[in-house]
Structure 1
């Protein structure tokens, strides 16, 4: 089906900017969008996944070896059990470049300031590995819940999920982060092809640019000296891209633009579009007629100076009863699950494992306090679905493994109980070795504990 044509006013503006390149740009809106798939390297490697191919894939490029394009437009990776197990994330190919430009290093502290629905946060978590700290934030409560679902599926252990404004975070944390990503709310011009239709106006573009300037100012406060700030949008508007960065640099002379390693198909930023003498050509523009994805703009800046800043530590608290219930569960139902008891935190009837040396959060609303281990019932511990998705092979107790196409697995995902001949107790249901959810064995049955909200009809 042919996509709906973007608004005339928008096309006129782009014709004036692109000149001879406009025809190819406009033609791209009639082309089918490409679907991207990025592997979860916390759970598998590229080599292992490719050794048992599930879908026909092609690489998006050397900037992200774990990201691919689906070669078959009829494939449905979102319906495969591997998606439920968090083996991969379906991510628009241009958005993958953003995480690659952030390029977090193991052990660093990273903030994703506008993180929902979680594509870029899962990418950053994979790059960090099981180290450092990721704070994934979204200002909207309902979107923060979607972020939590995607992060939990990913199995990340070193993440705090927050629901706060950028200014609230800056007031609480100050400049503690090594890297900050501002995936800014924008006019969304790069989404025309995906959305099919879109309301657009110059008034909205101007309003977005103003909002972005406020977010960037708070992001600067959250970055440590020597840290890196990545600014990204999914729009083409110079006012929201080169213009936003030019204004930020004028207001923050302690920042400078960094060159970004080459990305095949990317174009440089356009300082001439905003009449700036700054090296805005160090930014990247991803155009839908040049790159296999939707539109994006990406700039990376560094804050002058070096060193860290002082901060208060999060103080985990868990009752003796909670610690005991968890210890009993871990000893009897898990494998070699190592943990530090002082990192256990009890909140609202749930038990969490807080990331090491996490910062105090004050009055910031927390959606998730690190890894959710489970719920505390009167006399027992009930493991969380999150834990099932985070356990590594050596940490597991009893398991029941199924092939992706096993009819019994389909029945499990639909919420049915299954026959079971193993020992009584909690059982981790896995698909081709990847954790999927819990069941509880007893009396020849595996009682289904797959979350009701995730069950398939």
Structure 2
């Protein structure tokens, strides 16, 4: 660090003893930034490099305990960690890979930028970390996603030349996280940089195989050592001879990559197009980011067999499912798969992937249990408030909202000032705000009493 920072080194060391910065990132799949700012109860200031990221003061507010968090209106993320997904350009219809995706901060933003088009493949080799990834994907209301748990080597076999955009937030020594987590210091002391540099190269070697001609790769780490940063970018360009660095928008405090820091004697001067983020220069933790583009002619001819399933619309009707679906205005039965008593919404052009660990394909909508259909929590989260015909709208500051999120039944009387939906039965519960209403989950209404169907594992603890 002394070599990299020179006379700034002591300022950097001092910064490690200052409080960390906290940020929320608005979920533009559910609400525009403009509308969110109208209803936000928090004092927010923009994160310069993120169009939908905002600093908040964790000493004065707790966004993780607010109903907006449970409605999926934002993701809580370290400010510098918003940069990779913000930097990778996403176009309508892109096929996008988040190769090291857990716990989902990058994937949720990539999905928001796709805006329901194309396909997102979110992969992580760690099965234990996938639980958090899946929950975050579901809270955000993402439909067009496949979640896999595979090694990059195996993915590269199925997805050769398939993806328009690939994001690699690589496992690293975590030097940039020393202020945020003391455990990262211990891990760095044990593992050093060499171990992670080897892992990174094994990932990059496979990732470049999955990129389409004309596609783009975003490489990032949360560390400072050139062995894991500049050196890996040079390695990536050697792997893909047609890859070149793309300039990234500069923001105050960013430090350009430096070929003189690299251990590669042939380091390119274009490394100046990459950026380091140091915690003494910006309001965030340490990070490194590089954007590369394949200079080959754009080719979308790469073929992979689509997932073969018989659409629910072509099966013998299941009355219990049809009864529930009759409440919904916009749902294409030709995109529904029904198997083993479970109902799924399958993304368009979903690849088959036989023999691969596919943890989720599209959206799990619910299950037939004892002659009744039980809709899933993820079903509620993908719905627009106007999609369902029986909605209980609760003011966001109502005591009933927290009761619902805690899993309690709701007894609503005439003097509570809350308008009940038009009929008993399955009900979509939503929070009501001046800019719109946002689903939280399902319940079953009977004469003013709502039986709570909010997913137990998601419930508010206090």
* 1:274-313 alignment, distance < 5 Å: 274=262, 275-278=265-268, 279-305=270-296, 306-308=298-300, 309-313=302-306
2:216 maps to 1:228? yes
Offset at 1:112?
A: 0.2
Offset at 1:269?
A: 0.7
Question: What does the per-residue CA deviation read over 1:182-229, in whole Å, with 9 as the maximum and x for residues that have no partner?
Answer: 110111111111113421238531010011001001111111111001
Pick the aligned partner of 1:239 from 222, 227, 236: 227
Change (3 A) 1:304 1:152: same
Offset at 1:15?
A: 1.5
Offset at 1:97?
A: 1.0
Question: What does the per-residue CA deviation read over 1:345-404, in whole Å, with 9 as the maximum and x for residues that have no partner?
Answer: 235542111111122222111111102211222422211101111101221221112223
How many equivalent residue pairs? 440
Deviates more, 1:191-200 or 1:82-91: 191-200
Offset at 1:48?
A: 1.0
- Normalising by structure 2, we get a TM-score of 0.91
Pick the aligned partner of 2:346 from 348, 354, 357: 354
How big is the alpha-carbon RMSD for the aligned residues of Structure 1 and Structure 2? 1.7
Contact 1:191/1:295 (CA < 8 Å) preserved in 2? yes
Aligned to 1:453, what secondary structure does the other structure show? helix
Pick the aligned partner of 1:396 from 373, 379, 388: 388
- Normalising by structure 1, we get a TM-score of 0.92
2:41 maps to 1:51? no
Question: What does the per-residue CA deviation read over 1:306-358, in whole Å, with 9 as the maximum and x for residues that have no partner?
Answer: 21212211113456357654333111x22x2231x332223554211111112
Deviates more, 1:291-300 or 1:354-363: 354-363
Partner of 1:255: 243
Partner of 1:40: 27
Contact 1:314/1:361 (CA < 8 Å) preserved in 2? yes
Contact 2:116/2:144 (CA < 8 Å) preserved in 1? yes
Pick the aligned partner of 2:207 from 219, 232, 243: 219
Aligned to 1:142, what secondary structure does the other structure show? coil
Partner of 2:417: none
Contact 1:322/1:376 (CA < 8 Å) preserved in 2? no
Quote the Cα distance in structure 2 between the aligned partners of 1:16 and 1:357.
50
Contact 1:322/1:346 (CA < 8 Å) preserved in 2? no
Structure 1 segments unaligned to the other structure (5+ residues): 1-13
Partner of 1:447: 451
Question: What does the per-residue CA deviation read over 1:416-453, in whole Å, with 9 as the maximum and x for residues that have no partner?
Answer: 11125542211111112111111101243110001112
Contact 1:108/1:132 (CA < 8 Å) preserved in 2? yes
Partner of 2:424: 424
Change (3 A) 1:251 1:444: closer
Quote the Cα distance in structure 1 between the aligned partners of 2:58 and 2:125.
36
Offset at 1:111?
A: 0.4
Aligned to 1:211, what secondary structure does the other structure show? helix
* 1:18-417 alignment, distance < 5 Å: 18-61=5-48, 63-71=49-57, 73-197=59-183, 198-199=185-186, 200-201=188-189, 203-274=191-262, 275-278=265-268, 279-305=270-296, 306-308=298-300, 309-317=302-310, 320=315, 325-331=320-326, 333-334=327-328, 336-339=329-332, 341-347=333-339, 349-417=341-409
Contact 1:440/1:447 (CA < 8 Å) preserved in 2? yes
Question: What does the per-residue CA deviation read over 1:217-245, in whole Å, with 9 as the maximum and x for residues that have no partner?
Answer: 11111111110011110111110110111
Contact 2:234/2:267 (CA < 8 Å) preserved in 1? no
Question: What does the per-residue CA deviation read over 1:151-203, in whole Å, with 9 as the maximum and x for residues that have no partner?
Answer: 00000111111111111111112111100011101111111111134212385
Offset at 1:304?
A: 3.0
Aligned to 1:94, what secondary structure does the other structure show? helix
Quote the Cα distance in structure 1 between the aligned partners of 2:8 and 2:353.
49
Deviates more, 1:312-321 or 1:16-25: 312-321
Partner of 2:415: none
